[in-house]
Amino acid sequence: MNEMDLKPPYLLFLGDAANDLDAKTALGLVHWRPEDCVGQLRYANCRVDTGLPDMDIGQARRAGARSLLIGVAPTGGALAPDWEITLAHALDAGLDVISGMHTPLASLPRLANAAYRSASRLIDIRRPPENLPIASGKKRRGLRLLTVGTDCCVGKKFTALALHQALRQRGVPADFRATGQTGIMIAGGGIPMDAVKADFLAGAAECLTPDQADDHWDIVEGQGSLFHPAYAAVTLGLLHGTQADALVLCHAVGRRQIDEYPDYQIPPLEACLEHYLAAARLTHPAARFVGVSLNTGDRPASARAALLQDVTARTGLPCVDPLALGVDPLAETLADWRR
């Protein structure tokens, strides 16, 4: 679905990334596609280390890199002038440049010129396909799971990728369906839901999760949160269009307010589950939660079991910590779905 024709291996561009959150695209690539990453390019004041060897563009080229992938979100969304020089140099050296920013790379004259000179490609991940349909609301064959969140950055993408991997390991037919720029870079395809015109959101989600065999799972990366004052619409369109059979609620321990929106409290988990189900049932009355995915962050390992048990006691659902302990209990539920 909407494959992107990306050329690995990648040189990950980190610029002057200040922290791991800014560099989450690069870190996601290294975690899920280590075989596709040859090195990192960092400026002197960069505070993030992916663990890959540091390389300049010439070294990366000799190490086999075919693309420079922008692995950091620029502050304020716009490219700094020194970034443009580095990217133009990469294009001149024959590397494609891959970006997940809203701003199209070709709108920057220096990059457009360099791409024209070199015949290297400018690849904007955050450009949705043309001619998306209006949603039909019709039921499709196959099974779908959507990860939903109490907030942004709580583990929706990670949980979906971990579930996809666990199903594949069990021999269950499954696809990971990416809906954001990092997920699309990892998967090599998908639809950037946040850049879709509002009329076509649910239709895009239907396209992303087409008819499949009865026992096939589409594991869909969720976006935003129904409790987010800016992004709830993206979440709702994805929820309605996927018609998810199974939902997993993702939450970060200790998060009480929406990140960067201190006036917005995250409701209790039980209320979150109810809100999501009420919305999901519009297009799929049998939708249900199969579990909670808890990001326990920097809590000590000794505290984790109690945190997970507490969530299970409150919600009646199995609770996993995908980064620390994996997602096996949820994968078993999905593998046994039709039995």
Give residues in contact with its own copies (CB under 8 A): 102, 134-138, 193-199, 201-203, 226-227, 229-234, 236-237, 240, 258, 261, 263-264, 275, 278, 282-283
| Nearest distance from C-beta of residue 128 to its own copies, angstroms | 9
| Nearest distance from C-beta of residue 167 to its own copies, angstroms | 27
40/242 with CB nearer its own copies: 242
| Nearest distance from C-beta of residue 276 to its own copies, angstroms | 12
Structure tokens given for 304: 């984790």
CB 79 within 8 A of CB 15: no
| Residue with the two structure tokens 């959507």 | 146
Residues sharing a CB contact under 8 Å with residue 117, sequence separation 6 or more, in sequence order: 91, 92
166/178 with CB nearer its own copies: 178
Q: Cα separation of 119 and 113, whole Å?
A: 10
> What is residue 40's three-state secondary structure?
strand
| Residue with the two structure tokens 């087409």 | 210
Q: Cα separation of 187 and 205, whole Å?
A: 16
Structure tokens given for 231: 């992004």
Q: Cα separation of 156 and 294, whole Å?
A: 10
Candidates 251, 267, 290, 270; CA nearest to 166 is 290
274/332 with CB nearer its own copies: 274
189/203 with CB nearer its own copies: 203
| Nearest distance from C-beta of residue 317 to its own copies, angstroms | 22
| Nearest distance from C-beta of residue 204 to its own copies, angstroms | 9
The distance in angstroms from the start CA to the end CA of the chain is 28
201/287 with CB nearer its own copies: 201
Q: Cα separation of 30 and 11, whole Å?
A: 11
| Nearest distance from C-beta of residue 22 to its own copies, angstroms | 17
127/288 with CB nearer its own copies: 127
103/333 with CB nearer its own copies: 103
Angle, alpha carbons 293-187-234 (nearest 5°): 60
| Nearest distance from C-beta of residue 193 to its own copies, angstroms | 6
